[in-house]
Amino acid sequence: MNYKKLIPSQKLRLELLKFLDFLPDKLMIKLQYRLSTGRRLNIKKPTRFTEKIQWYKLFYRKQLMVKCSDKYDVREYVASKGYSDILVPLYGVYDRAEDIVFDELPNQFVLKTTNGSHTNIICEDKSKLDIEVAKKKLNQWLNAWEGKVGREWAYHEIKPKIICEKLLEKDQNNDLVDYKFFCFNGQPFSLYVIVERFLKDGIKLGIFDTSFNKLPYKRIDIPALKRDIKKPRNFERMLKIAKDLSVDFPHVRVDLYNIDGVIYFGELTFYNGSGYKGYVPDEFDFELGKQFVLPKSIN
């Protein structure tokens, strides 16, 4: 069952989740997992990666995860690991959209909220930006009811702000390739390579091993990458960065960019797809699950 097809309106889905906010986390997670995957959640003896993500939400609550989920505070964590050089240049951090002095910003930049997903404003030409519309969007995102959506506790404890960063350059294909490393106790196991984010047909996703060999799996909800992708320059350094940034956690996804050998940090993600996104063939859910050795509960 795909609940997004059943309830196409995101606004309506959020209203429904808001209505159900009173439900205990375990019950709501079981319900959402069943609606999203069509399967019962085995929380006592999870074997799938998607099941272990649900366990992770419920029982592992290391406070450092809050810091590393915040798109601003995580910068301090990255710097503490010796990787200040991969941080995207920061132009400002703001509590409200009204605090942004647009005249002081360069012609190109990105504005984003520190706790959201898909809450970005990409400005490629400031002269064409409707500043009042941008401010309205940013404040709506800051004030949006998040409640317990996904029951991803680490994000719920973030006090949201707005940050403004440098707009990263696209490559010769008008693309910005995203490398997402799935790491377990400091060891990268596999990675997503996401391309064509800005093209008309939408994003494509390939799954690779750490030798950059394409694996015969795909995400069930994203079109598969079919064209050849060359291993990026400095790939071994990317692996080292992923190891160092993931060593403090049983599992985290480390997102990086690589622009002609220059590496930039994207974000750390603890609950990939909220643990509701499947794979074809289904066996990859179990393969990832084998890597995810559940720790003792911290709750």
Average pLDDT over residues 271-287: 97
DSSP β-ladder status, 178-184 and 187-195: antiparallel
Average pLDDT, the chain: 91
Give how many domains the chain has, as a whole number.
2
Residues 239, 261, single domain; the answer is: yes
Q: Does residue 95 carry a pLDDT above 80?
A: yes
Q: Which of 165, 188, 211 is the last residue of a domain?
A: 165
In whole angstroms, give the CA distance from residue 167 to residue 170: 9
Write out pLDDT tens, residues 23-54. Answer: 889 999 999 999 999 999 999 999 999 999 99
pTM of the predicted model as reported, rounded to 2 decimal places:
0.93
Structural domain for 274, as ranges:
170-291
In whole angstroms, give the CA distance from residue 259 to residue 269: 21
Q: Which of 132, 165, 198 is the last residue of a domain?
A: 165
Q: Which residue has the tokens 């093209």?
A: 199
Write out pLDDT tens, residues 218-251. Answer: 999 999 999 899 999 999 999 999 999 999 999 9
C-alpha distances in Å from residue 269, one per residue of 65, 159, 256: 9, 17, 12
Handedness of CA 77, 79, 82, 84 (dihedral sign): positive
Q: What is the pLDDT of residue 146?
A: 59
What's the N-to-C CA distance of the chain in angstroms? 31
> Tell me, what CATH number does 190's domain have?
3.30.470
Write out pLDDT tens, residues 178-208. Answer: 999 999 999 999 999 999 887 767 899 999 9
Residues 203, 286, single domain; the answer is: yes
Q: List the 109-113 sheet strands across, edge first.
A: 90-94, 162-165, 109-113, 120-123
Q: In this structure, is residue 225 part of a structural domain?
A: yes
Residues forming a β-bridge with 195 = 204
Q: What is the pLDDT of residue 265?
A: 98
Q: In this structure, is residue 40 part of a structural domain?
A: no
The amino acid sitting at 192 is Y
Q: What is the pLDDT of residue 296?
A: 81
Angle at 294 between CA 285 and CA 270, to 5 degrees: 70
Average pLDDT over residues 116-136: 93
C-alpha distances in Å from residue 28, one per residue of 45, 157, 299: 18, 19, 17
